[in-house]
Structure 1
Amino acid sequence: MTSVLYARVSTADQTLSHQITQAEAAGFQFDEVVSDHGVSGVSTKLSERPEGKRLFDMLRHGDTLVVRWVDRLGRNYDDVTDTMRLLLRKGVVIKTVINGMTFDGSTDDPMQEAVRDALIAFMAAMAQAETETRKAAQKAGIEAAKQKADKYRGRKPTYSRDQLEQVRDMLAGSSTISAISKETGLSRQTVYRIKDNPEASEKALSLWGK
């Protein structure tokens, strides 16, 4: 039985070491780390990524796949749901670092399968929706930055884009404000500001060129 951590590092702010440290801090142990760097989770399926292909080949029945959140597998609804169901049918257990969720294919009860699949669908839909919202906010932020290039940009954000993404991920996973603050190192006030106005938080980063 092998435990594998899969990490997708799509931006400069997202580091492999951060995802490993976060998993270890949550009590996860793994035999191997597989990671794809600079790969989009929207346009590139897991099976088409260099290390994603290897991940499919190496995982066997009884193995455990650990990911920070389902968005590391991808941000495309069809790809994420297809990938997770394929791995579950293969007998692979999937665990998330955020909220410590576990998905396995051991049950043959149709009601339990329906609940599990509904949750997978919801999480995959959230991953895609967050990306679409972020892109819209980034576009709006870039336009605002161009229009106000010579004007005061406001206070410099105290968070990085990676921290903003992590806060959004944990909010989507129903984590408490206190838990998010502790995990990210951000103040509760900052987390509340991101929660209450994610578009403004994204725009602030764009205005500062982050």
Structure 2
Amino acid sequence: MSKTILYARVSTTDQTLDHHRTLAEAAGFLIDEVVADHGVSGVSTALQERPEGKRLYDKLRHGDTLVVRWVDRLGRNYQDVTDTIRHFMRQGVVVKTVINEMTFDGATTDPMQEAVRDALIAFMAATAQAQAEAIKEAQKAGIAAAKQVEAKYRGKKPSYDKRALDVVLEMLSQEAGATEISKVTGLTRQTVIRIRRDPAKAQETLSKWAD
């Protein structure tokens, strides 16, 4: 008996699994089973490399229908998506999408219909890859921006580490002069003077750069 399986890849920031199923059922699909990967990147992980995604290759049989939110759920790039869809079509599995209500059926024998179908697969897969690459770039930009904000918050990295600061504070407590401390620690005289003026700020600055 044929069945309809919904495959969902749900990241920690994406829609919930219930939301995926609700959308599929609202689109008219009668879902018999749900297979889902949680917290797996679709940008860097192929379907066969995902814990639950690879189960689809064993579960799906001739006559079954695989439902996905969109084709980007089936691969990380153009080649992945096209290979996955064509693999399932060769197995007699019909692949359908919730978004745009696309149907990819390997049972088509008419040359013109096959050409249209294959062109559509290529277009959808290319669009999925373009979106994946856009996500990668957005992630890189976000990381870079976060580093800039962090660096701005930290301020300039101090020229001394904890050991050097401890030596400076110990010598200051013994009323050593800035020139003497500078020679012992290798720090500039101006740095020693700044530490002497505000030891608490020196500690705070160093703590911001602590790993």
TM-score range, shorter chain: 0.5 to 0.7
* AA in 1 matched with 2:101: G
Aligned to 1:113: 114
Structure 2 Cα separation of the partners of residues 12 and 74 of structure 1 = 19
* AA in 2 matched with 1:40: S
* AA in 2 matched with 1:34: V
1:96-120 per-position Cα deviation (integer Å, ceiling 9, x unaligned): 1112111101111222112111111
SS of residue matched to 1:33: strand
Tell me if 1:127 matches 2:128: yes
1:33-80 per-position Cα deviation (integer Å, ceiling 9, x unaligned): 011112222332212222122211111111111100011112221111
TM, length-normalised to structure 2 = 0.65
1:124-181 per-position Cα deviation (integer Å, ceiling 9, x unaligned): 1111111111221232233334445679xxxxxxxxxxxxxxxxxxxxxxxxxxxxxx
TM, length-normalised to structure 1 = 0.66
* AA in 2 matched with 1:137: A
SS of residue matched to 1:124: helix
* AA in 1 matched with 2:89: L
- Check conservation: 1:75, 1:124, Cα contact below 8 A: no
* AA in 1 matched with 2:64: D
Which structure has more RCO (C-alpha within 8 Å, separation ≥ 6)? 1
Cα gap change, 1:148/1:41 in structure 2, threshold over 3 Å: closer, same or farther? closer
Aligned to 1:84: 85
Structure 2 Cα separation of the partners of residues 133 and 43 of structure 1 = 13
Q: Which deviates more from structure 2 when the two are superposed, residues 6-15 or residues 80-89?
A: 6-15
- The structure with the largest alpha-carbon Rg is 2
Once the two structures are superposed, the pairs formed by residues 94-173 of structure 1 within 5 Å of their partners are: 94-147=95-148
* AA in 2 matched with 1:71: D
- Check conservation: 2:63, 2:93, Cα contact below 8 A: yes
Q: Which segments of 5 or more consecutive residues in structure 2 lack a partner in the other structure?
A: 154-211
Q: Which segments of 5 or more consecutive residues in structure 1 lack a partner in the other structure?
A: 152-210
Once the two structures are superposed, the pairs formed by residues 1-210 of structure 1 within 5 Å of their partners are: 1-147=2-148
- Check conservation: 1:41, 1:74, Cα contact below 8 A: yes
- Check conservation: 1:8, 1:73, Cα contact below 8 A: no
SS of residue matched to 1:18: helix
SS of residue matched to 1:36: strand
* AA in 1 matched with 2:77: N
Cα gap change, 1:41/1:145 in structure 2, threshold over 3 Å: closer, same or farther? closer
SS of residue matched to 1:50: coil
SS of residue matched to 2:44: coil
* AA in 1 matched with 2:88: L
